[in-house]
Structure formats: structure tokens, C-alpha cells
Structure 1
Amino acid sequence: MAAAASVEHQQRTSSLELLPPNMSELRVVLLGNSWSQRRDVGNFILGENVFSTEEPDCCLRVRGRCRWKETVLINLPDLLHPKNSEDKLTEFIEHCVRLSGPGPHVFLLVLQPEDFTEEQKRKLQTVLENLGDRSFQHSLILLSMPTKENVGSKKNYKERPALKHMIKMCRYRYVEQENLELQELFTHLARTVRENNGEHVSCDLPENAAVGSHQNLSLQTAVPANFDPDRAAGESKKTF
């Protein structure tokens, strides 16, 4: 048990060292083409079922802890859905900017590869460009597992033009969901921050932008007095 706690401490220290020591919180925006996937990823990161099954019609912000780091997740509705008008898309982007102020450190693009179309790629590219000139440099792609019907195409999906181009635009920064541990995902997030010198994306809003609706959800962020490092060591091994 002591050995497990020691390994856990080393992993925690190694990951946190990737982040600037004066960084008060890690701000992550979840984008993608599947609400259920973004919901599961958000719940996985914070270790709580904070995002419900039903897809919201507004932006959600949750504060909690991931790997002992204060973390803010901003989860958006499905911006890639064809039903969204340009005005609605702009409204969601404006809300995202407000909720992630002074700016997000990482855009976590949760993509379902077999369903990621050329049209979705163009829309996602537009969204990121509107969120800031350096958004692609701050983006990490999380590739969800193919559905059972498409499991045979697993080896080929990264070669599909739309996804291949998006991976290239994000500086080939991606991770696959299958058997992904929380420690590994946090390390990828921290590396993305480090590669950008700990800076966040500066998102500008038009002066006349209307204030829209959003929801704030809260999590207990304090480390309890009876914190058990051995139990935490097991929790860090959680996989999707």
C-alpha cells in the first residue's frame, strides 16, 4: 500500500510540474460532435457525475479538482450540429468566452471519429478561429472509441481526410480514449499548457455582445481531512 502511494505521489508531482507554479486553475473547454462523449469525458476528468444525460441548450461551467489541481470545465452544446444557425453559434461562442475568462488554457476536442464529417471539420475550424488566433495551438484531440459496428475501421479512421486534417491543424496533438487513464489524460492536458508557456487563449468579445444564458455547477474542491492516498492511487487508474 505504501509503495502504491509512493508511485501515486511521484505521478502527481510529475504531472503538476508541467504546469506553472503560479497557475491558480486549469481552464478547459470541451468541444466535439457528441454530447454523450463530452459528458462522459467531463465526468471522468472531475470524478463526479456533474453532467447529466440530457443535452443542455446552454453552456455549462463546472469547477472541481483533477489530479489535485483546481480545474474549470466549460462544456458547450453541440456546436457542430447542422441545426444551429450562425446567430446561435455566435451566441454559444460568446457565452463560452465569458465562462472561460480570462481565457481557456486547453480546448479538448472530443471527436467520434467515424461520425466526423468534412462539414463538421469546417464548422469546428470556424468555431476555433472565432475563439482566438492561437486556439489550434491550445487544442488537444481526444478520439473516442469507434462504435461496435465500426470497430473494424479503427486502424483507418485517422486516415480519413477530415480527421487527418484536424489532427494536423492541432499540431498532431491527440490521444485515444481506449484504456485511457486519468493520469495520462491530465498529463496530456498539462503538456499542452506547458507547450504554450502556461498562457491562455485571449478571446475578445464585441462590445455590444448580449449576455446569454448559462449554468454554473459546483463541486466540492477541498481535499478532505481523511484523504486516503492509497485510495487515490486506485482512482487515478480509472479508465474509460
Structure 2
Amino acid sequence: MRILPPMLSELKVVLLGNSWSLRKEVGNFILGETVVNTHKAPDECLIGRSQIVGQKIALINTPDLLDPKIPEDKFRKHVETCVNLSAPGPHVFLPVLQPEDFTEEHKLKLCSVLNLFSDQSFDHSLVLISTPREESPGSTEDYTNHPALQEVIRTCRYGSLRLKNLDRLELLTRIGQIAKENTGEHLRCDLLKEAATATQTPLSLKQGGAVGELMSPAGAAEHGVRMVLLGKSEDDKTSLSDFIMKKKTFTSQGETERFCLRHE
């Protein structure tokens, strides 16, 4: 039985959520084996791979990105790592949410993560709702009425599953359906687009009141390339300069200890 779209060589899934134990449990459940067994939430993204009915799946498990107290620089670094691990882009996001602990702040952080990937991330998401830690016999409380959780589910096109008594095949089938609904295309991440644009597009820089320009490779070829050699060893810098220029460049001993030297 083919669960995943046939055109995919490897399905890439990203786990998010407000509980490390749940993310770990769901990750191992999907992969069909205990890939991650650490009890403490890691401070880095973890990736596990497996084969499902002959098809490859890569699962990226994230640190506690929904922690409201996480520093902004650390938060963005973790997201960038996740983007790189899932390059050229994930196919499915699985926010694994524990309703009784899921706050408005968690919701905002989750939306921040998905938006950093792309504003299309919500169309690639399936919300997994945990079983309450303490559930009284016969309890029929509908945790999707939780305001913050309900808004997330609505934004994700009402795609959700309860983890209680969830069959692995059912979960894999729903993951495959999301990939198929998006024609098997991976998500084109905005962070990767920004990085590519930054290396190709001229940028304006203010330097002492004047405006300089960082040129693209094509512009550098037309106007010439300027390089600065830095380092502790004068001999190494001189040797490298001679190698780049293909001729003898700096010969004065001791001058570089006091002055910057230029050669064209």
C-alpha cells in the first residue's frame, strides 16, 4: 500500500509543540522505532530517518521553540537550523499540542515559527492533540474548544487528529494526504529565499555619509574584485597574495606590521 505520494524520494516532516515528551513519543511512533530516547529536551534539532512501505521519511524534531522565554536570537537560530535540516523544504508540519498547557503565548510562538518558514506553512500542517493527563471516566470534554488551540486548528484548515487510540497507519495516511493535497511539493522556505536574495542582489551600505554598494558576482567581474587579507602570520599572507596574483607582490619586511599595503 502506497501511503506517500509516489513522486517523493523522501518525505520531510517537522515536529513542533509545547511538550518534549509528546514530541519524542510521536516521533518514535511515526518512525516505528525508538530513535530518540533522551528524557531531557535537547537544545538542538534532531533528525531521524526510516522507511515506510519502502518509502523514505525524514523526521525533524525541534527543541522547545514555543517556550515564551526563549531569547529571540536563540529562537531564530533554532528555526534556521530546522530550515537547513529540512532543505529544500518540509512537506508536513506536525504541531503536537497539549491543551491544558497550551497558552496564548504558545500559540503566538507557534505562528511565529510557521511564518518564519512561509506564510503557506499552515496549509502543510496537521495538529495532533494529546490526551489530557487526568481524564475522568466517561469524560467527554472537547478540548478543541480551547480558544488558543481552536484558533490554531482553524488556521491549519481544520486539520487535526487526537492522539488517543490513534492508529499509526491512520496518522501516516493523513500525513500522506497533506503532501498529496500540496501536489507533493515541499514548502519553499522564506528564510532560504532571503539568504539567496542576499547573495545575488546589490545592497546599499552607509559609510561615513556616503553610500557604497555590495555588488553581485556579475558586477564584481565588471568592476574588479577587492579583497582584504587578514591573519597573524605575515609570511602566510604574503604567500597567499603571491598565489592569488600569480606574481611576487609584497617584498618589504616589517612594513605590514605598521601599514596596510595594497597591490593591483
TM-score band (shorter)? 0.7 to 0.9
Aligned identity (percent) is 52
Partner residue of 1:169 out of 135, 155, 168: 155
How many angstroms apart in 2 are the aligned matches of 1:170 and 1:122?
A: 14
Matches within 5 A, 1:59-138: 59-138=45-124
Which of 187, 191, 216 in structure 1 is aligned with 2:173?
A: 187
Task: Read off the aligned partner of 2:41 and give its amino acid letter.
Answer: E
What is the letter of the counterpart of residue 193 of structure 1? A
Distance 1:136 1:151 in 2: 34
For residue 29 of structure 1, report the CA deviation from its aligned partner. 0.3
1:84-115 CA deviation, whole Å, 9 max, x = no partner?
11111100010000000110000011111111
Offset, 1:207: 3.5
TM-score (norm 2): 0.69
1:30–1:107: 8 Å Cα contact kept in structure 2?
yes
CA distance in 2, matches of 1:149, 1:183: 25
Cα distance in 2 for residues equivalent to 1:26 and 1:73? 8
TM-score (structure 1 length as normaliser) = 0.76
CA distance in 2, matches of 1:68, 1:112: 32
Partner of residue 196, structure 1: 182
Report what 1:26 is aligned to: 11
Contact 2:7 2:184 (8 Å CA) reproduced:
no
C-alpha distance in structure 1 between counterparts of 2:58 and 2:136, whole Å: 33
Alignment partners' CA distance in 2, 1:66 and 1:58: 26
Determine the C-alpha separation between the residues in 1 that align with 2:7 and 2:55.
12
Gaps spanning 5+ residues in structure 2: where? 197-264
Q: How many pairs does the alignment contain?
A: 193
Report deviation, 1:65: 1.7
Q: Structure 1 residue 22: deviation in Å?
A: 2.1
Number of the residue aligned with 1:212: none
1:50 maps to what in 2? 35
Question: For 1:170-202, what per-residue CA distance to the aligned partner results, in whole angstroms no more than 9, with x for missing partners?
Answer: 000011101111100000100111111111111
Runs of 4+ in 1 over 4 A off after TM superposition: 149-154
1:26 touches 1:72 (CA, 8 Å); kept in 2? yes
Distance in 2 between residues matched to 1:154 and 1:136, nearest whole Å: 28
Structure 1 gaps, min length 5:
1-11, 209-240
